[in-house]
Structure 1
Amino acid sequence: MLKTKILLGLFLIVGVLTSCKKNSYDADEQLKKDDALILDFIAKNSIVAVKHSSGLYYQILNPGTGNEVTTSNTVTVNYQGKLLDGSEFDKSTSPVSFSLAGNLIQGWKIGVPLIKKGGKIRLIIPSVLAYGNESPGAGIPQNAVLDFTIDLINVQ
């Protein structure tokens, strides 16, 4: 009986320890993988993009002529978001406004200030500047590189 209790206890301890999954996510390693995917995507689609020091790639389609943008601004935009396979996961159906200091992915906080009011930009955002190894919901898998086209309508 004692022997059985000891064995059951050991199995329980081993079960608990092996079920504790260690998070092996390495953002630097993921950024390298994302960079290779982005470079391949840019080459295959003949996109002329600039690499930001953060790892974000961008293409200014129209620089705009209005006010400068900072992360303390509220912006009004139209946008479309796709994965690198071309599948659309989100699109504004009318202009939307939000604070750049708010709860946005880092890629937007870095990329939107690269244009002025009236501008248009394409952001190819590595997963580490988007949702990382999390899936925010249907349509965006974990470690997804995101491809946004953003029209900056207004800056406040």
Structure 2
Amino acid sequence: MSTITAVPLQPTKRSVLVYLWIGILVAVLGAGWLAMRGTEQVVALKGSNAQFLSWNKTRSGVVETASGLQYQVLKPGEGPRPTATDLAGVMYIGKLRDGTVFDASQQPVPFPLSGGAVPGFLEALKLMPKDAKYRFWLKPELAYGSQSPDPTKIPNDSILIFDVDMLGFMPEAVYRQRMMQQQQMQQMPQGGPPAAP
């Protein structure tokens, strides 16, 4: 027969127990926060436009203007920003909340900032200096609202998301003058202006 020798256990210090309970409490609270935050994101992504926009504006780097336009600077540019009298040259990709691309520029596109595009897009372009890249979230009221030009591509009351590169801008009058000069040059006969009689 073997004999078992009992070794007395030393009592655990009170400070160790306090740290242990604090660690457990922090872990439980952290897990609860992560679960709630994850649930909030899922609800926002699958929920209503208002839920999505409310969640989106709390994300790091997202700014909301007074009109409700939300934007994020992906690449800062330099210099002044365009005004309503300018024409901006941009490249862009337009998506829906689910990631579906509904429009994308294949080459630089000139946009007169005095009108001709959805109000939120024009407001967004006026925020961008040259060489900047921004992401914009346009709520329906700043986009097409319930009057989509093509409901099969862009459902009514959709949030539109644009990634935009600002290539540059110039006064619209200067652009129009340059275009007229180019047209005049193209209409001239080959070899230059006609000789004087």
TM-score, structure 2 length as denominator? Answer: 0.58
**Aligned Cα root-mean-square deviation (Å):** 1.7
Greater Rg over alpha carbons, structure: 2
1:132 aligns with 2:156: no
Alpha-carbon distance in 1 for matches of 2:138, 2:60: 14
Residue of structure 2 in register with 1:81 after alignment: 94
Residue of structure 2 in register with 1:153 after alignment: 167
Deviations 1:55-106 (Å, cap 9, x if unpaired)?
1110011231143211221000000000001100000011111201121111
CA shift, 1:41, in A, is 5.1
Match of 1:105 among 100, 115, 118: 118
**Structure 1 residues not aligned, in runs of 5+:** 1-32
Q: Which has the higher contact order (CA 8 A, sep 6+)?
A: 1
Deviations 1:100-121 (Å, cap 9, x if unpaired)?
1121111112111112011111
1:70 aligns with 2:70: no
What amino acid is aligned across from residue 140 of structure 2 in structure 1? S
CA shift, 1:38, in A, is 2.1
**Greater mean alpha carbon deviation, residues 124-133 or residues 57-66:** 57-66
2:57 touches 2:63 (CA, 8 Å); kept in 1? no
SS at match of 2:126: helix
Indicate how the Cα distance of structure 1 residues 139 and 42 shifts in structure 2: closer, same or farther if over 3 A, else same.
Answer: farther
What amino acid is aligned across from residue 115 of structure 1 in structure 2? M
Between Structure 1 and Structure 2, how many residues are aligned?
Answer: 122
Alpha-carbon distance in 2 for matches of 1:35, 1:81: 20
1:66 touches 1:118 (CA, 8 Å); kept in 2? no
1:53 aligns with 2:66: yes
Indicate how the Cα distance of structure 1 residues 120 and 87 shifts in structure 2: closer, same or farther if over 3 A, else same.
Answer: same
What amino acid is aligned across from residue 77 of structure 1 in structure 2? V
Alpha-carbon distance in 1 for matches of 2:72, 2:168: 19
1:39 aligns with 2:54: yes
TM-score, structure 1 length as denominator? Answer: 0.72
CA shift, 1:36, in A, is 2.0
CA shift, 1:147, in A, is 0.4
CA shift, 1:47, in A, is 5.5
